[in-house]
Amino acid sequence: MSVINFIEKHRDQHLEELKEFLRIPSISTSSQHKPDVDRAAHWVADHLRNAGMQKVEVVPTPLHPLVYAESPRLPGKPTVLVYSHYDVQPPEPLELWTSPAFEPTVRGGNLYGRGTADDKGQVHIHLKALEALQTQHGKLPVNVKILIEGEEEVGGTNLWDFVRNNRERLQSDALVISDTSMLAPGVPSITYGLRGLNYYQVEITGPSQDLHSGLFGGAVPNPLTILSRTIAQLHDRNLRVSIPRFYDDVARLSPSERKALKALPWNEAEFRKTVGAPGLAGEKGYSILEQLWCRPTFELNGIWGGYMAEGAKTVIPSKAHAKFSTRLVPHQDPQKIAALVEKYFRKLLPKSVTCQFEVLSTGKPWLAPYTHPIFRAAADALEQGFGRKAVFIREGGSIPIASEMSDIFHIPCVLMGFGLPDENAHAPDEHISLENYFGGIKSAALFYERLATL
Amino acid sequence: MSVINFIEKHRDQHLEELKEFLRIPSISTSSQHKPDVDRAAHWVADHLRNAGMQKVEVVPTPLHPLVYAESPRLPGKPTVLVYSHYDVQPPEPLELWTSPAFEPTVRGGNLYGRGTADDKGQVHIHLKALEALQTQHGKLPVNVKILIEGEEEVGGTNLWDFVRNNRERLQSDALVISDTSMLAPGVPSITYGLRGLNYYQVEITGPSQDLHSGLFGGAVPNPLTILSRTIAQLHDRNLRVSIPRFYDDVARLSPSERKALKALPWNEAEFRKTVGAPGLAGEKGYSILEQLWCRPTFELNGIWGGYMAEGAKTVIPSKAHAKFSTRLVPHQDPQKIAALVEKYFRKLLPKSVTCQFEVLSTGKPWLAPYTHPIFRAAADALEQGFGRKAVFIREGGSIPIASEMSDIFHIPCVLMGFGLPDENAHAPDEHISLENYFGGIKSAALFYERLATL
C-alpha cells in the first residue's frame, strides 16, 4: 500500500484522534488552564513516539513546556526542523459558538473547535504524515527534528531560551512551519512574508477613585474620554498611522510585486463576505492584499473602564484600560517601533492623568528569499497533494519563529499552511476544512519524501 | 425632655438601626438583587409605622415597589410631602472598598457603606426626626406624606405612574427632599438648582464576528477604534461639547449669580484633593463651581469591547460598547438634547459600521424660585440644628423628582441635603459624616416644627 493510500484509508481514525487532541483546553493565556496546557504537551509527546520519533522530551520552562523530538539519525540525508504550537487562544465570547469550543464537531465538511485551524489541526497533519511514512516504510525518509511549543498565543519567550541553549542540537538544513492559511479553498499556498507583532497595554488614571458624574462631571479629567481622544489621534483621515517616524523603515512595494499580488486568484467578494461589515476600512492608496500583507497597522484589541454591566451607573471612573498592537512589515524594527509608540502615546496625554504603559511582547516581520530548492519541493508536494498548482503569498499574521529562526540558523524557512482566512482563528466557531486537513497530511508526507531527493 | 434632647440621647440606637438598613443590598440596577430591594422597601414601611405614620403601603410596580405613608390628618396644618429613595448604586469595584460595601463600619467620625450618603442615611434622618416628634409630642406637628421609591438609581419610571394616578392623594403644600450634599463640612446648605440627566448606551458593530488582527488588520473597520474616534469628536479643544445646538437653550449666568457663587465658602484645594487627579479638566471660561453646577456636560460612564482579560489576544472584535450621559442645565430640554446627541453621534460614524443607540433615561434640570417662606423655615432649622448659617447652593447631580414634582403640583421644593461632595456616592468607600447624620436628624425635626407655624 502506498503512503497516500494508507492516509486515505485512515481518514476516520485520524479525525477521531484529532478530536481527542482538540478536547484539551490548552489556553496558554489563562493561568487556570495550566494543567490542560501540560496535558496537551504530553499528548503531543506520546503521539510523536508513535510517529517514528525518538528522544521525545517534554521540556519544562518557567511557563509552559515545549515538546522536542528527533527521528533516528539517517546519515547523508537532509535534516528538517518542524516547528508548531499546541496552545490555543481563549474561547471567549463563549455564547457565540454554535457548538462548544472544546467539543469538536463536524458540520458541512468542516471540523469546528478552538485550535482546529490554529494550530492543533496543523500539528496533527505533520504527526499523521510522519506516522504514515514510518508505518509504510519502517523509517522516515529524512532526518526530522520537531519542536512544538505552548506559548505561541501568549507571546512567550521560553522557546528562545531553549533555542539559544540548544543551537547545536537544533541545527538543520531547513525549517518547516504549518501555521498559516491557504489563499483560497483548493489553492495550496506557500507563504513567503509575514508581519511582525508588538503588543501593548495601557492604564490611564485620572481621579484617585471613581467619582459621581453629577457631583464632579464637568470639572475633572475623565480617563475614558481621554483614552478615546488619545486613540483617535493615532490614525489620520486616510487611516494612516499618525505616530511620527512609524513608516520610516517600511519597505516600498516594487511595481512587480504589486503586479504579482494583483494576479493572485484572490476573491475580494469572498473576503468582504467573511468580514461581514457594512464596508471595509484601510489605508488609502493600497489594495486590500497590500493593506493586509505589506503595510503596518496600529490596531486596538481591547478597551475597558467604568460601568459595563446592566443598566445605568453615573460614574466617572478612576481608570481606563486598553490593549493594542502594531503589525510590522520589513524593515521595521520592533524595539524602535515600541519606543516610538510609547513616546507618542504619552505625548498625546494631557497632564491631568497618569499612564502606565507596558510592552507585552515584540516580534519582527519576515520575508523569505524563495529561491532555495526546498521551496520547489514544497510547491510540487502541495500540487500533488491537492491536485492544483501552489501559489506564493504573504500573510498579515505573525510567526516570530520564522524570522528569529532565520536569523539564528541562517536556513531557509518554508511556511506551508493548511488553514483558510475565514476559518475564525482567534474567534468563535473556529474550524478547519476537512478537505484541507486530509490534503495536508498527504502533502506533508509527499514533502518529506521529496526532501530526501534534494 | 425636648425633642433635641431625645435625639441626642438615642444616638447609639439610631446608628445601630441605620446599619441594619444599610446591610440590605438594595441594588436596583441588578435583577439578581430584586429580593433585597423588596426587603428594603418593607424595612422602610415597618419603620414608618414606628414614626407616627398611618396608611403605610408597600406599592408594587412592574419593577421595584415604592413605599407610601401618611400621618394622621391634622386639620389647619400645612402638608409636606417628603420624597427619597431606598435603592442604591452597584458596589463594584468591590476590591477598592476598605470595609465591605454592605457591612457598615465606623471609622474616623464617618459611617462607611453603600447607601450611607446616597440615600439611605438621609432617609433614616427623616424617619428618626419624625419618630422623635411622635414619641415626645404624641403626634406630628404637621401633615406628613412620605414617598420612598426603589428605582432612583436605575432611572425608573414607575414612580411617575404612581404620582400621575395619585395626584389628589399626594397634594401637599411643599416638597422636601434630602438627597443632596452640603457645600462643605459644617456648612448646612439648601440646594436651589440641579442638573438634569440623560443616559445613553451604544453598540457599534463592524465585522459580523471577531477577526484575527493579523489576518484582517489593516483592511477592516475596528469598532473599538471607530467608537474612540467618535467619542473624541464630542468635545472641542476647550472641552466644550461639540454637538451642534447643544448649548442653544442654556441659561446664561448673570453677573450677580457668578458673584454669589464666587462668595460661597467653598474650598478649591479640598475639591482638588478629593478628586485626586494630577490636574482638573473642564470647560474653558468657567469657574469650577460654574462647570459643576451651571454648565451641561457630555460624560463617558463606561466603555468596553474586545479582549479585556489577562495577557494578549490579537483580535479585532465585532462589537464595541459605551455608556454615556449628558448633564443638563436650565433651560435645556431632555428630549431635544437626546435627539441632538443621537443625530450627531450617528453622523460621525463611518458607513463601515452599524450602530444601536439607546436612550436609557431622560431627566430635566431644575431651578427653584427660593422666595417662598418654607425656604426661610428650612434655613432657620438648619442654622439651629448645626449652629451655623445655612447657604443657598446649586448641585451638579440630578434628582428628576424635583423638577417633575414642581411641574405636576406647582408647589415649592426644598432640597435639604446632609451628604458631602467627597463622600464617594456611587464609588467605593461611600460614607456619611456622623456629625452631619445626627445634625440632620435634629434639623429635620426642627424643620417639621417650624412648618407648623407657617
Going from N- to C-terminal start, the domains of chain A cover: 3-194+365-451, 196-250+296-361, 253-289
C-alpha–C-alpha distance, residues A307 and B428, integer Å: 13
Q: What is the pLDDT of residues A22-67, one digit of tens each?
A: 999 999 999 999 999 999 999 999 999 989 899 999 999 999 999 9
Interface mutation target, options A34, A236, A303, chain B, most CBs of B under 10 Å? A303
By residue count, chain A amounts to 454
- R_g of chain A, CA atoms, integer Å: 23
How confident is residue A195, by pLDDT bands cut at 50, 70 and 90? Answer: very high
- Using alpha carbons, select from A393, A408, A404 the residue that is nearest to residue A366: A404
| pLDDT at residue A155, rounded to an integer | 80
Query: Which chain B residues contact residue A276 at CB under 8 A?
Result: 207-209
Contact between chains at A197 and B219 (C-beta distance less than 8 A): no
Mean of pLDDT over chain A: 95
Query: Cα separations (Å) of B372 from A422, B192, B366, B368, B383?
Result: 71, 12, 16, 10, 18
Considering CB atoms only, which of B224, B278, B427 is closest to A300? B224
Query: Do the chains contact at B220 and A280, CB–CB below 8 Å?
Result: yes
Strand partners, A33: none
Interface probe for A, chosen from B201, B220, B429 (most Cβ of A below 10 Å), is: B220
What distances in angstroms separate CA A342 from CA A75, A352, B342, B424, one per listed residue?
51, 18, 34, 33
Q: Which of A205, A225, A243, A284 to mutate to test the interface with B (most CBs of B within 10 A)?
A: A225
Cell (9 digits) for B335: 428630549
Query: Which portions of chain B are predicted below pLDDT 70?
Result: none
Q: Cβ contact (<8 Å) for B92 and A216?
A: no
Q: What letter represents residue A361's amino acid?
A: S
User: How sure is the predictor about A223, in pLDDT bands with cuts at 50, 70 and 90?
Assistant: very high
Measured between beta carbons, the chain B residues lying within 8 angstroms of A428 are 209-210
How many percent of chain A have pLDDT more than 90? 88
Which residue in chain A has the smallest CA separation from B221? A281
CB contact under 8 A, A277 and B316: no
Q: How far apart are CA A385 and CA B174, in angstroms?
A: 87
Contact A333, A296 (CB under 8 A): no
What span, in angstroms and rounded, lies between the C-alpha atoms of A282 and A291? 7
How far does CA A58 lie from the centroid of its chain? 22
Identity (one letter) of the amino acid at A421? Answer: P
- Residues A349-376 have pLDDT tens digits of 999 999 999 999 999 999 887 788 999 9
- Span A277-301, average pLDDT: 97
C-alpha cell at A226: 481621554
Best mutation target among B182, B208, B213 (most A Cβ atoms within 10 Å) is B213
d(CA B64, CA B211): 41
Per CB-CB distance under 8 Å, the chain B contacts of A305 are 302-304
Euclidean distance between CA atoms A56 and A146, whole angstroms = 9
Q: Which long-range contacts (CB under 8 A, 24 or more apart) does B332-335 make?
A: B332/B196, B332/B249, B332/B250, B332/B296, B332/B365, B333/B249, B333/B364, B334/B196, B334/B198, B334/B362, B334/B363, B334/B364, B335/B362
How many Cβ pairs closer than 8 A exist between chain A and B?
376
Q: What is the nearest CA distance from B441 to chain A, expressed in angstroms?
A: 24
CB-CB under 8 Å, B325 with A224: no
CB contact under 8 Å between B279 and A351, yes or no, is: yes
Q: Do B210 and A428 touch (CB under 8 A)?
A: yes
pLDDT of residue A134: 96
- Interval A229-252 mean pLDDT: 97
Q: What is the DSSP letter of B31?
A: G
In whole angstroms, how large is the CA radius of gyration of chain B? 23
Give the pLDDT score at B294.
96
| Cell 536569523, located at residue | A407
Nearest Cβ partner for A303 among B224, B314, B350: B224
**Distance from C-alpha of A206 to C-alpha of A222, rounded to nearest angstrom:** 6
Task: For the beta carbon of residue A288, count every other beta carbon within 10 angstroms.
Answer: 18
Position A399 confidence tier, pLDDT thresholds 50, 70, 90: confident
Write the CB contacts of B387 (distance below 8 Å, at least 6 apart in sequence): none
Q: Of A10-19, A211-220, B363-372, where does mean pLDDT reach its minimum?
A: B363-372
Asked if B329 and B295 touch (Cβ cutoff 8 Å), the reply is: yes
User: Is it true that domain A196-250+296-361 has CATH number 3.30.70.360?
Assistant: yes
- Residue A188 C-alpha cell reads as 495550496
What is the number of other CB atoms lying within 10 angstroms of the CB of residue B406? 18
| Residue in chain B nearest A288 by alpha carbon | B219
Q: Closest CB to B221: pick one of A208, A209, A279.
A: A279
Which stretches within B23-98 are classed as H helix? Answer: 34-49
Minimum CA–CA partner of A241 in chain B: B218
Nearest Cα neighbor of B163 from B81, B55, B51, B54 is B81
Find, in chain A, the residue whose alpha carbon is nearest to that of B295: A218
**Mutation site, A179, A314, A395, A398, interface B, largest B CB count within 10 A:** A314
Q: Which amino acid is at A385?
A: G
CA distance A23 to chain B (A): 21
Closest CA to A247 of A294, A281, A280: A294
Say yes or no for a CB contact (<8 Å) between A209 and B276.
Answer: yes
**List of chain A residues whose C-beta atoms are within 8 Å of the C-beta of residue B26:** none
Chain segment B17-66, per-residue pLDDT in tens: 999 999 999 999 999 999 999 999 999 999 999 898 999 999 999 999 99
Tell the residue number behind the cell numbers 496546557, with chain if given.
A37
What's the helix, strand, coil split of chain B in %, to 5? 35, 25, 40
- Give which of B314, B306, B293, B312 is closest to B415, Cα–Cα: B293
Residue B350 sits at φ, ψ, to 5 deg, of -70, 165
* Alpha-carbon distance A449 to nearest alpha carbon in chain B (angstroms): 31
Kindly list the distances between the CA atom of residue A215 and the CA atoms of A211, B181, B191, B286, B298, in Å, as whole numbers in the listed order.
8, 9, 13, 16, 14
Partnered with residue A303 across adjacent β-strands are A322, B305
Q: Do B279 and A350 touch (CB under 8 A)?
A: yes
Across the interface, which of A195, A216, A310 has its CB nearest the CB of B214?
Answer: A195
Distance from the Cα of B439 to chain A's closest Cα (Å) equals 22
Phi and psi at A75, nearest 5°, equal -60, 145
Q: Which three cell numbers stand for residue A28?
A: 496558554
Q: Answer for the pair B283, B290: CB distance below 8 angstroms, yes or no.
A: no
**Min CA distance, A75 vs chain B (Å)?**
40
What is the spatial distance between Cα A178 and Cα A1, in angstroms, rounded to a whole number? 27
Q: Do B217 and A297 touch (CB under 8 A)?
A: yes
Q: Among residues A349, A232, A252, which one has the least CA distance to residue A298?
A: A232
A3-194+365-451, CATH topology level:
Aminopeptidase (3.40.630)
Q: Which residues of B touch A211 (CB under 8 A)?
A: 275, 426-427
What are the CB-based long-range contacts (under 8 Å, 24+) for B331-339? B331/B249, B331/B250, B331/B251, B331/B365, B332/B196, B332/B249, B332/B250, B332/B296, B332/B365, B333/B249, B333/B364, B334/B196, B334/B198, B334/B362, B334/B363, B334/B364, B335/B362, B336/B249, B337/B198, B337/B246, B337/B296, B338/B198, B338/B200, B338/B362
* Count of positions (residues) in chain B: 454
Task: List chain B residues with CB under 8 Å of A300.
Answer: 222, 224-225, 228, 306
Please state at what angle helix A334-348 crosses helix A223-232, rounded to 10 degrees: 130
pTM of the predicted protein model: 0.81
Spatial CB neighbours of B12, under 8 Å, sequence gap ≥ 6: none
**Cα angle at B123 between B118 and B126, to 5 degrees?**
140
Residue B259 pLDDT? 93
Query: For residue A186, is pLDDT > 90?
Result: no
CB contact under 8 A, A210 and B181: no
Asked if A219's CB is within 8 angstroms of B282's CB, the reply is yes
Residue A422 has pLDDT above 90, yes or no: no
Model pLDDT, residue A16: 98
Cβ contacts of residue B242 below 8 Å, gap of 6+?
B233, B234, B235, B236, B344
Strands (E), B236-318: 297-306, 315-316
Question: Which residue type occupies A278?
Answer: P
Chain centroid to Cα A12, Å, comes to: 27
**Residue A303, amino acid:** I
For residue A277, give the nearest of B29, B207, B299 by CB distance.
B207
What is the C-alpha separation between B352 and B33, in angstroms, rounded?
A: 39
Q: Write out the three cell numbers for B42.
A: 418593607
pLDDT for A403 beyond 90:
no
Provide the 3-class DSSP secondary structure of residue A453: coil
Q: ipTM score here?
A: 0.81
Go through A130-165 and write b for each residue having 16 or more CB atoms within 10 A of its CB, e for each that does not: bbbbbebeeebbbbbbbbbbbbbbbbbebbeebbee
Q: Mark yes or no for CB contact B195/A214 under 8 Å.
A: yes
**C-alpha span between A97 and A428 (Å, rounded):** 5
Pick the residue of A95, A215, A345 with the most B CBs within 10 A to test the interface with B by mutation: A215
Opening angle at CA A114, ends A111 and A118, nearest 5: 85
CB contact under 8 A, B211 and A30: no
CA-CA-CA-CA torsion sign (B111, B117, B123, B125) = positive
- A185: pLDDT strictly greater than 90: no
CB contact under 8 A, B213 and A299: yes
Is A393:A417 a contact under the CB 8 Å cutoff? no
Chain B residues in contact with A32 (beta carbon < 8 A): none
The packing angle between helices B34-49 and B120-137, to 10°, is 20
pLDDT score for B156: 86
Q: Is B367 exposed, middle or buried (0-12, 13-18, 19+ CB in 10 A)?
A: middle
Cα distances (angstroms) measured from residue A339 to each of A154, A204, A357, A358, B396: 21, 18, 11, 11, 42
Provide the 10 A C-beta neighbour count for residue B392. 16
- Give the pLDDT of residue A370: 76
Residues of B in contact with A317 (CB under 8 A): 301-302
Q: Pick B427's closest partner by Cβ from A210, A231, A325.
A: A210
CB A142 within 8 A of CB A80: yes
Contact criterion met (CB < 8 Å) for A214 and B315: no
Query: Which of B220, B292, B312 is the closest to A154 by Cβ?
Result: B312
pLDDT at A400: 77
Strand positions, DSSP E, A152-224: 174-177, 189-194, 196-205, 211-212
Integer CA distances (angstroms), A322 to B37, B195, B260, B309, in order: 35, 31, 43, 11
